Amino acid sequence: MPSAYKQQVIELLMSIETGDEKPLAYINPSRYIRHNLAVGDGVEDSSHA
């Protein structure tokens, strides 16, 4: 895995703690799979978990 992808994963995971929504742009909305049914559908709803 290229280091750029690793950095994106790190930023995305850190955004859970910080609330930063910028890393959500790394997720391809057409390939997003919702695993937590308590969270709304789509990438946009995931930011409100």
pTM strictly above 0.75: no
Is the backbone of residue 4 left (phi > 0), alpha (psi -120 to 50) or beta? alpha
pLDDT score at 47: 57
pLDDT score at 34: 80
> pLDDT by residue for the chain (49 residues), tens digit each?
689 999 999 999 999 999 999 999 999 888 888 888 787 776 665 555 5
pLDDT score at 39: 73
Contact 24, 15 (CB under 8 A): yes
For residue 41, give both structure tokens. 């559908």
* Other Cβ atoms closer than 10 A to 14: 11
pLDDT score at 21: 93
Query: For 36, phi and psi rounded to 5 degrees?
Result: -105, 105
